[in-house]
Structure 1
Amino acid sequence: MTLKKIDHEFTYEQLSYDAKPNYQPYIKLTFFFNKLPHVSHEMFHRHWETVHADLAVASKEFGACKIRRYVQFHQSPETKEKVKAMGMDLLDFDACAEFWVETWGDWERFVSSPRYAEVLGPDSRSFMDMSFKVMAGYDNIIFGPALPGGKDGITELKQ
């Protein structure tokens, strides 16, 4: 079945059927993963937000490979329970990491670097389950500011 345009009066012209999407100029890689069973939630999150983050950002390859953004998303047991209590279908991971890179080659250079193999890989395996899931693509910014080089989304709401 093909989705057809519906008759809709758009409030924001930049969201109309004829408008172009506002894809940002970076590839976004999002990794969903869990802690290892023997690692406490507290230790998992604390290690990831401190030691592991420092090992990643401090590596010379991190800057050389033009990683433009690294964000960690922490999901605690309490937030998981809140989602379930609200009747929503939980995406059952402990964490999510987001990286923005300019090119696939930049990402490939980073993950194939000696620093990654010698330091980041072993550290990852010490606290996270390596059977992670990945999404990759481009953000289409609807509302809010862009990263450098991109176009802002809607910045003022109409009342």
Structure 2
Amino acid sequence: MECPSHLTLQFSFEELAVERGSNQQPYIRILIFFNKKKGLSEAFFHEHWKSIHADLTMSFGNGTKNFSRYVQFHQDAEHRKLVSSLSQYNMQPLQYDGCAEFHAENAEQFLRFMADIHNSKELVGCGSRFTDVDDGMHVMVGYDNLIYGSHITTSGGCDGILPSDPRIEERLRLR
């Protein structure tokens, strides 16, 4: 067996038990990882992305009808340094300057949005001026299985285990 506790663990949170289902949220999540264009400063890259490019993305055609959430995740040298000590646990920071996160009801909606973007000279032109198009972008697509925290209202779904859950305090007292 892959893990000895797979079927023997006494669960503190029964809703997490094996074969009890999951808390899969009703949207797909798309993560697009990329780096700044060579020769640009970090300051310019991050400022341009969170202002000019964000405004163009939000203003573009029917874009916001094809997704329910857009988040920019910014990583700079200072933040990479903060987690550099995690290498002792065999964890390495991803070498990306940014990650755009989108939630969509389904893949078709998001693919329509991406097709529209790539048919827009304004957005593609903007993106190619601040991102490293030679290195390309890397994409992950999947679903959220929400374990802890509240759902995202605009994306739907159900809460996970909430911070106010009395079982959390009980577990802390037992330790």
Same-fold status (TM-score > 0.5): yes
Superposed CA offset, 1:97-156 (max 9, x none): 100011111112111126852221111100001311111000000011112431111113
1:35 partnered with 2:32: no
2:58 counterpart of 1:53:
no
Instruction: List gaps (5 residues or longer) in structure 1.
Output: none
Give the helix-richer structure, 1 or 2: 2
The answer to whether the Cα contact below 8 Å between 1:33 and 1:95 also exists between their aligned partners in 2 is yes
Alignment match, 1:73: 73
Normalising by structure 2, we get a TM-score of 0.83
Match of 2:120 among 117, 135, 145: 117
2:100 maps to 1:97:
yes
Q: Gaps (5+ residues) in structure 2?
A: 170-175
Q: Distance in 2 between matches of 1:81 and 1:114?
A: 34
One-letter code of the match for 1:99?
A: F
2 CA distance for matches of 1:114 and 1:98? Answer: 15
Deviation, structure 1 residue 60? 2.9
CA distance in 2, matches of 1:116, 1:3: 48
CA drift of 1:45 comes to: 0.1
Deviation at 1:54, TM superposition (A): 0.5
CA apart distance, 1:64: 2.7
Identity %: 36
The answer to whether residue 18 in structure 2 is matched with residue 11 in structure 1 is no
**SS in structure 1 at match of 2:57:** helix
Q: Residue type matched to 1:37 in 2? A: K
Whether 2:161 is the aligned partner of 1:154: answer: yes
Per mean C-alpha deviation after superposition, the further-off stretch among 142-151 and 83-92 is 83-92
Which residue of structure 1 aligns with residue 145 of structure 2?
Answer: 140
1:147 maps to a residue whose letter is I
What is the TM-score normalised by the length of structure 1?
0.90
CA shift in 2, pair 1:18/1:85, >3 Å: closer
